[in-house]
Chain A
Amino acid sequence: MSSKRREALAAYGFLLPNFVGFLAFTSIPVIVSLVMAFTHYNIFKSPSWVGLENFQSLMGFHHESGRLVPNDPFFWQYVYNTIFMMTGIPLGMAGSLFVALMMNQKLRGIVIYRTIYFLPSVCSGVALLILWKYLYNADIGLINSVIRAAGEHIFSNIVTGILFTILCSIIFGLIVVGIVAALLALIQFLCEKLRISWREGLYKACVIAAGAVIFITLAVLGPREHAIISMFFANPPDWLGTVQWAKPSLILMGLWGGLGGYNMILYLAALQGVPTSYYEAAEIDGAGPWAKFWAVTWPMISPTTFFILVMSVIGGFQGGFMTANVMTQGGPAGSTMTVEYYLYQTAFLKFNMGYASAIAWFLFVVIFVLTLMTWKLGGRVVTYE
């Protein structure tokens, strides 16, 4: 036997175990899943072909007394929930970058901080979700205990109460202005990259105008804010038990857990890879820390930002099952149900495998299209060395 053939045979031998598993648990199931999406199948009886019916009843709309109504209103509600939960992604990325920038400083004892910040990521899982379920508990939870205790101290005195209201309003106003400014910056950035002209000074004018409107509104509504804030502190909400607070609560928990986790380490590695000579060159040009960040650091770490964003969006679309299953069971009123939870419910509680496969393929297509789009856009906005 020639040595070439021996090498090829050896290669196939090495590949065999992995390849068989790959066929049995990835390639063939993908095809089976696609076929299943066109059938009714409850695993007890053999499947029956129904054509596009699953997709139609999942994503389609019909007319009902002159209005367009989705065939499966739950599905679209859960898609909305899933996307809502993903607003935590940019916030978490900004937080992780901020932490990474601090961790990148040469400080003594930084490893201890890194260990502490990473703790939530390493114990992510059911135990941590149980912990948060009780942190958020309306009666015994730590969060509400702190809010009530703080409220008692602050609002027992009218002066501290008013001062606190003003402070809260200013912080709230700054956050809103910050969000507006970030959105405008994003628009400006995209305009520049797509070569759409953007007049000099327009950005500043927009931010100042938005800030003025927001703060004047807050000042006018002062007394009402005082009432709302004091009510909130006297009687904090049942975080996971009310429709409007459940999703933000889960997002906040995710931010806490992700702040110093995988993304932070990725950012830290990227920051450590930026050559110091670039910073020195920027310093010679007279750049301050802020200018250095936007001119050197931000473009140099853009591949990492892009990578984290793509991975988070892919993960976000098919996430949320474990969290909701342990903490809220999808409730209240389906407000924490995600697409993945719906898939689980359809496939493994109702045994409606065909319909569930249609949901899975919806996820697949969305993820595929999003990845392609970000890849295309990424080629334009990401700076590679």
Chain B
Amino acid sequence: MNKMRSSTKIALYIILSLGAISMLIPFLWMAVTSIKQPDEVFAPGGGIQWLPQHFVWRDTVINGTKVRAWWGNYPDAWNEINILRLYLSSIFVAVVGTFGQVLTSSMAAYAFARLQFPGRDKLFFGYLATMMIPGSVTMIPVFVIMKHLHWINTYQALIIPGLFSAYGTFMLRQFFMGLPDDLEDAAKIDGSGYIGIWARVILPLSKPALATLTTFTFMGFWGSYMWPLIVTITDSMRTLPIGLSYFVGQHATNYTQLMAGSMIALIPVLLLFIFNQRYFVEGIKLSGMGGK
């Protein structure tokens, strides 16, 4: 495959670039719309109006102080839906939930992969079997449980049902099985207990698998929509996706502010991805091993 003709190369670059442009244009349009004034989204004469005709400097409020800015949609959106609060909720839920899930999964995976105990294979098969159950089946009873525990509209409801993952256990078990025995044996001779081996031998050796599980779990909590929608009631408990969707419902015609709000929601995730994309790519490859 190394001896590619330069005409083929150029054709490939052209196709790839066309695709890349079509990937980027929606984001570009979003960015441009987010700094326009509401009357500028309609182009005069029906054509496409890309850039704002003129930057309108107008008053807006940041931290209680008046500021004149042409990017006023951003502070307006920020104030309108209290994005900071939504961000903090989302980050709290995602960080605690991810930490908890990786912790419980790695503990269970260690037992399944490295320890001998009666009923191990049967129990593991039970875990595997439940991976087929669609989330919609368990959702209603779990909601009823939350209701009875009076956990509706609390962080417990947002976090605790997501702490236990058969998938995470499965993935880590597969990885732990492939680790060499010698280090574990050495630690045993040094007098380490099981907790010591798990914490100081298995986990440090499994950084790639833990990193990918962390990435995926975090993305799962971060993007989660249906469950937070069901178990939150007040604005103060909502996570970012729910807050944004309420914003659309209430301000459907305020295009420029909506685009600014969406930009604020997207930018940190984009930056996080661009600097950590290795974990994404490796993680997807690992998760696809199920097909082999």
Q: Which residues of A pack against B, CB within 8 Å?
A: 4, 7-8, 10-12, 14-15, 17-22, 24-30, 32-33, 36, 43, 99, 102, 105-107, 113-120, 122-128, 130-135, 137, 139-140, 142, 145-146, 148-149, 152, 256, 259-260, 262, 265-266, 269-270, 276, 279, 303-304, 306-308, 314, 317-318, 321-322, 325-326, 340, 343-344, 347-348, 353, 356-357, 359-361, 363-364, 367-368, 371
Contact = CB atoms under 8 A, between A and B. Distances in A.
A145 B33 CA distance: 13
B46 interface: yes
Contacts of A140: 41-42, 255
Contact of B115 (A7, A269, A308): A7
Nearest to A137: B255
B201 interface: no
Interface stretch (B7-15, B54-62, B64-72, B178-186): B7-15
B140 A347 contact: yes
A347 B161 CA distance: 18
Interface in B12-52: 12-13, 15-16, 19-20, 22-27, 29-30, 33, 41-43, 46-49
B291 A116 contact: no
A349 to B, nearest CB: 10
B250 interface: no
Contact of A269 (B166, B198, B245, B285): B285
B259 A134 contact: yes
A126 B244 contact: yes
19 contacts: A18-B107, A21-B104, A25-B138, A25-B142, A105-B4, A116-B20, A127-B262, A134-B255, A134-B259, A139-B42, A265-B281, A266-B291, A276-B1, A307-B288, A307-B290, A318-B134, A321-B225, A364-B133, A364-B136
B265 A126 contact: yes
Nearest to A103: B16
Contact of A360 (B16, B137, B281): B137
A279 B292 CA distance: 21
B88 interface: no
Contact of A131 (B30, B134, B147, B270): B30
B153 interface: no
Nearest to B135: A318
B280 interface: yes
B1 A27 contact: no
Contacts of B223: 124-125
B23 A260 contact: yes
B132 A367 contact: yes
A8 B225 contact: no
Contact of B136 (A135, A137, A260, A318): A318
Given A14-B108, A321-B226, A116 B24 contact: yes
A127 B46 contact: no
B74 interface: no
A344 B164 contact: no
Contacts of A33: 137-138, 140-141
A43 B144 contact: yes
A127 B130 contact: no
A114 B273 CA distance: 12
A353 B19 CA distance: 45
Contacts of A4: 116
B241 interface: yes
Contacts of A344: 226, 230
B23 A29 contact: no
Contacts of B84: none
A20 B33 CA distance: 49
Contact of A149 (B48, B116, B118, B166): B48
A359 B292 CA distance: 33
Contact of A26 (B116, B166, B290): B166
B78 interface: no
A152 B46 contact: yes
Nearest to A372: B132
B169 interface: yes
A102 B13 CA distance: 9
Interface string B107-125: 1101110011110100100
Contact of A123 (B123, B160, B269): B269
B63 interface: no
B43 A145 contact: yes
A370 B194 CA distance: 42
Contact of A265 (B144, B229, B284): B284
A276 B115 CA distance: 40
B262 A131 contact: yes
B42 A266 contact: no
Nearest to B130: A26
B212 interface: no
Contacts of A26: 130, 133, 138, 164, 166
Nearest to B24: A116
B145 interface: yes
Contacts of A371: 132
Contacts of B103: 17
Nearest to B43: A145
Given A126-B265, A360-B139, A304 B248 contact: no
B189 interface: no
